[in-house]
Structure 1
Amino acid sequence: MSVILAADIGGTKIAAARVAADGGLGAGIVEVPTPSRDGAASVVEATVRLLDSLRGPGDEAVAISAAGVVDTVGGTVLGATSSIAGWAGTRLGELVSAGVGLPAWVVGDGNAFGLGLALEYGAVNLVALVAGTGIGGSLIVGGEPVLGAHHAGGHLGHAVALEAAGMVCPCGRVGHLEAVASGYGILAWYHAQGGDPGVTTTRELLDRPGDEVAQAALGVGGSALGAAAGGLVNAFDPEVVVVAGSIARAGDPWEAGLRTSYTNTLIPAVAGTPLELSTAGPETALRGAALHARKHHGAAAGQIRRTALGGRNEEEGGA
């Protein structure tokens, strides 16, 4: 059985597994810390070492889920935040392919996650919102992620949100969803409203049930995310919306704000579209990246065979 070696590269950790055609993860997931402050070359080297440690018979290609704006054709990171030093401009596919000795296919982490969720939910059309320190996601249409004209498809955290008016997003712009609904944004809203300056993480907000400002911050963050999800459903009419990431485990009042705002935003034609909360982890991005690689590696191999056969179909060229 052919196997895809898959890696999910984030700012904190690199996860990897061998993914079989049925989505099975072989011996499971292995992880190492991302040497993010040491620069892109160190991150690539750590990824290659991790993948090499998993090598086995039948490995066909490498799949990489990567943070940043990714050119999936050239395998290059076009743009990125400062979470990995010098990440923008990294020829990730080329470098990992050379290191591992297998063809490599790269997709943005939000789109990898969306593809993995589409597999999990059996959906051909799906909206995925991943709310953690930042907000990412994916629009899966016809079984494929919407990549866009500039490879930036899926950066849903940079849609405009009314609740974020006047608030600065980590990207430097003002009023984006991430500025109010991400872990960063919820904490920023809390401090902007006079919250305890000694609270420095979103996790701390979850442990302050008697802090009215903390509860309001969670509710506003959930409400902003719910409105964004509802707007995407109105525009794209998916089968399901899935919200994942660390913030998706925030509980009330975050979830109450999310669901109320989502329901109130939907137009009647799509009012029955379910919104699901997922506790999916790195296995989802690994499966999604492997699916992307399997499709495109198979198509590339088929094109090579057709070219070798003078443009005829493989079946036509058989004995």
Structure 2
Amino acid sequence: MSKYCFGIDVGGTSVKCALFSAEGTIEEKWEIPTRTEQEGVKILPDIAEAILKKMEEKEITREEAVGIGIGLPGPIEENGEIACAVNLHWGRKNVEKELEELTGMPVKAGNDANVAALGEMWKGGGKGAKNLILATLGTGVGGGIIINEKIVTGAHGAGGEIGHAMINPAEEKACNCGNKGCLEQYASATGIASLARKALGKTEKESLLRSKSHVTAKDVFDAYKEKDALAQEIVDEFAEYLGRALAVFACVADPDVIVLGGGVSKAGQVLVDCVEKYYQKYAFSACKATPIKLATLGNDAGICGAAKLILSR
């Protein structure tokens, strides 16, 4: 009888690994370095070795293991192939097939942001929901959409790429993706800092932010909490962009809950309150009651979602 599974979250510098019970309890967590040299040829063999060593250490047989779930930074197609993972120096690769051959166990792969959304639905801010939108507000804006407990991947593995929805047709500066006016340009940590620099350049208004040589998103929210007038204007602009975008996504997905994660979410409930005001303003009537909550799993969202991937296979 299967008793265990593994959840793997592959990042550009480290791979987070976890052994789970088949009921979903984390038994042990550890990390290994992500060796990206030589076009990342060692990454999957290193993961396989780490898993097999852990099984030997814990005296777990292959019959006792459900398999391996793995989240990766790139679009994953239905057949388990990743088209490209720039941070890992990979081109097209069938992750599921290769890792199955290396371990002798079933493997299910997913995009890291989508997998994090699954984790938050299973054990985090969206626990108990079957339909969820996760927006991860970090250096960029990632996201995941879950419908009836299933990740929305789409035809090209790009389902849930909410950070690259175009929300400002007047934008002249290009996003990292090459388009202009993407949500990521306003709702990420770098986007908020950019809004702050623009605001500081447009006015002589006194602000706590003027004492900072390099304004960050955290600085903006800290000043906001001190009732700094300019910080309030910046947060208000950010919140309108994000609240309006979430209202559009909710129209399509009709989630039970919207979860906000990533580094910006450390601002806490004040973030939810600001965004919720604009979400309420723009949301379709049937979706207005959808709650917005903070993510709770932090760095464990990826490993939890990866485990859920294979447990639900």
- TM-score per shorter chain, which class? 0.7 to 0.9
Equivalence for 1:61: 67
Q: Specify the code of the residue in structure 1 equivalent to 2:165.
A: A
- Given that 1:17 and 1:54 are in contact with CA atoms closer than 8 Å, whether structure 2 keeps it comes out as no
Taking structure 1 as reference, are residues 44 and 213 closer, same or farther at Cα in structure 2, changes over 3 Å only?
A: farther
Indicate which of 270, 278, 287 corresponds to 2:295.
278
Amino acid at match of 2:121: A
SS of residue in 1 equivalent to 2:68: strand
Secondary structure of the structure 2 residue equivalent to 1:292? helix
Matches of 2:21 and 2:258 in 1, distance apart?
A: 27
User: Please, which of 139, 145, 149 is the counterpart of residue 139 of structure 1?
Assistant: 145
Query: Comparing 200-209 with 139-148, which one deviates more in the overlay?
Result: 200-209
Do residues 221 (structure 1) and 222 (structure 2) align?
no
Q: Equivalent residue for 1:30?
A: 30
CA contact (8 A) 1:180 1:189 kept: yes
> Which residue is equivalent to 1:50?
50
Quote the offset at 1:213 in angstroms: 5.5
Q: In the alignment, which residue of structure 2 is the partner of 1:3?
A: 4
CA RMSD of aligned residues (A): 2.8
Shift of 1:250: 2.2
Given the alignment of the two structures, is residue 79 of structure 1 paired with residue 84 of structure 2, yes or no?
yes
SS in 1 for 2:19: strand
Residue 71 of structure 1 aligns to a residue whose secondary structure is coil
Unpaired segments of 5 or more residues in structure 2? 202-209
- Structure 1 gap ranges (5+): 297-319
Aligned AA (1:131): L
Give yes or no for contact 1:2–1:60 (8 Å, CA) kept in 2. yes
Structure 1 residues 190 and 89, CA, compared in 2 at 3 Å: closer, same or farther?
Answer: farther
Q: For 1:108 and 1:49, locate their aligned partners in 2 and report how far apart those are by CA, in whole Å.
A: 22
Give the aligned partner of residue 16 of structure 1. 17
Alignment coverage as a number of residue pairs: 292
Query: Match of 2:263?
Result: 246
Alignment of 1:118-267 (within 5 A): 118-120=121-123, 121-162=127-168, 165-194=171-200, 198-199=213-214, 201-203=216-218, 205-206=220-221, 216-251=233-268, 254-267=271-284
Residue 92 of structure 2 corresponds to residue 89 of structure 1: yes
How does the TM-score come out when normalised to structure 2? 0.82
CA displacement at 1:203 relative to structure 2: 4.4
Task: Give the structure 2 partner of residue 40 of structure 1.
Answer: 40
CA distance in 2, matches of 1:33, 1:186: 31
* Aligned counterparts of 1:199 and 1:252: Cα–Cα separation in 2: 25
Distance 1:168 1:215, change over 3 A: farther
Q: Is the 8 A contact 1:187 1:217 kept in 2?
A: no
Query: Contact (CA 8 Å) 1:248, 1:279: kept in 2 or not?
Result: no
In structure 1, C-alpha distance between the alignment counterparts of 2:4 and 2:244, rounded to whole Å: 40
The aligned amino acid for 1:257 is C
| Aligned equivalent of 2:204 | none
Query: Is the CA contact 2:197–2:215 (under 8 Å) kept in the aligned structure 1?
Result: no
- Distance in 2 (alpha carbons) for counterparts of 1:45 and 1:223: 45
- Following TM superposition, the consecutive aligned residue runs of length 4 or more in structure 1 with deviations greater than 6 angstroms are none
Could you tell me whether the CA contact under 8 Å between 1:78 and 1:88 is conserved in 2?
yes
Which shows bigger deviation, 54-63 or 138-147?
Answer: 54-63
Contact 2:272 2:292 in 1 (8 A): no
CA distance in 2, matches of 1:41, 1:214: 46
Separation of aligned partners in 2, 1:238 and 1:79:
29
Kept in 2: contact 1:219–1:257 (CA 8 A): yes
Contact kept, 8 Å, 2:40 with 2:90, in 1: the verdict is yes
1:156 Cα deviation after fit: 1.1
Moved more, 43-52 or 107-116: 43-52
Check the 8 A contact 2:186/2:238 in 1, yes or no.
Answer: yes
Identity rate of aligned residues, in percent?
Answer: 27
Name the TM-score, length of structure 1 as normaliser. Answer: 0.80
Whole-Å separation in 1 of the counterparts to 2:296 and 2:240: 20
For 2:172 and 2:273, locate their aligned partners in 1 and report how far apart those are by CA, in whole Å: 24
Distance 2:284 2:266 in 1: 27
CA shift in 2, pair 1:290/1:95, >3 Å: same
Structure with larger RCO (C-alpha < 8 A, sep 6+): 2
What is the distance in 2 between the residues matched to 1:288 and 1:162? 32
Task: Report what 1:303 is aligned to.
Answer: none
